[in-house]
Amino acid sequence: MMLKWVPECLSPAFLKSAKQILEYESYWEDLYYQQKEVTVYYKQQEGNNLILLTVIARYGQNFFRG
């Protein structure tokens, strides 16, 4: 389902993200993974105040580094 209207607080001007790819080389839930990609979504308020919205971790290899 596609949203026809996006609240202003979720627009790209307000919603920010940061992504980092780490060399993991370890097991998670009994499976071996070479890398771990961590994406943090946050909203920046006035000044330097940040509101953490969510963090998503993906395990795998050859993540896009663009």
Distance between CA atoms of residues 62 and 60, nearest Å: 7
Residue tagged 């000044």 (tokens): 47
pTM > 0.85: yes or no: no
How many Cα atoms within 13 Å fall on the side-chain side of residue 18?
7
Strands (E), the chain: 15-28, 31-44, 50-60
**Per-residue pLDDT reduced to its tens digit, 17-46:** 899 999 999 998 999 999 999 999 998 887
**Per-residue pLDDT reduced to its tens digit, 50-62:** 888 899 999 999 9
Domain coordinates in residue numbering, the chain: 20-66
Q: Are strands 31-44 and 15-28 parallel, antiparallel or unpaired?
A: antiparallel
